[in-house]
């Protein structure tokens, strides 16, 4: 039988949930009309930065929630937002927490 997997749509964070995220997620800023979580990371060199990105990629794929990011040599800039919801959801907060735990 054909199985159709339906992804669950996460709800946008309510003001109290946003406030909780802000105080929990040290190092991250909430930007672009409270639709994005953003953080910059700096490493010793490109190899360290890319190793970090590989670990983030595995976490993200496991969660089926993916960062918008850029890398320039030893710097990695990560933006988290739930595109399907058009803003921040618990998925972004959870992924940000897991990324923070890597460094």
Ligand X SMILES: C[C@H](O)[C@H](O)[C@H]1CNC2=NC(N)=NC(=O)C2=N1
Q: Which one among 1, 2, 7, 101 touches ligand X, defined by CB under 6 A?
A: 7
Instruction: Beginning with the edge strand found earlier in the chain, give each strand of the sheet holding 75-80 in spatial order.
Output: 29-31, 36-42, 75-80, 68-72
- Tell me: does residue 38 bind ligand X (CB under 6 A): no
Which residues ranging from 80 to 99 are in contact with ligand X (CB under 6 A)? 81-84
Which CB sits closer to ligand X, 55 or 66?
Answer: 66
Q: Which one among 66, 69, 71, 79 touches ligand X, defined by CB under 6 A?
A: 66
- Tell me: does residue 65 bind ligand X (CB under 6 A): yes
Own/partner pairs for 24-28, CB < 8 Å, 24+ apart?
Answer: 24/93, 24/97, 25/93, 25/96, 25/97, 25/100, 26/100, 27/100, 28/96, 28/100
- Tell me: does residue 5 bind ligand X (CB under 6 A): no
| Site residues, ligand X (CB under 6 A) | 7, 64-66, 81-84
């Amino acid at each position: 039988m054909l199985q159709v997997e339906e992804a669950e749509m996460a709800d946008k964070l309510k003001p109290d949930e946003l406030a909780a995220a802000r105080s929990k997620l040290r190092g991250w800023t909430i930007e672009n009309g409270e639709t994005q979580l953003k953080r910059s990371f700096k490493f010793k060199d490109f190899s360290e930065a890319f190793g970090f990105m590989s670990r983030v990629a595995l976490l993200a794929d496991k969660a089926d929630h993916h960062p918008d990011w850029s890398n320039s040599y030893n710097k990695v800039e990560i933006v988290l937002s739930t595109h399907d919801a058009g803003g921040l959801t618990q998925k972004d907060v959870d992924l940000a927490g897991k990324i923070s735990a890597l460094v």
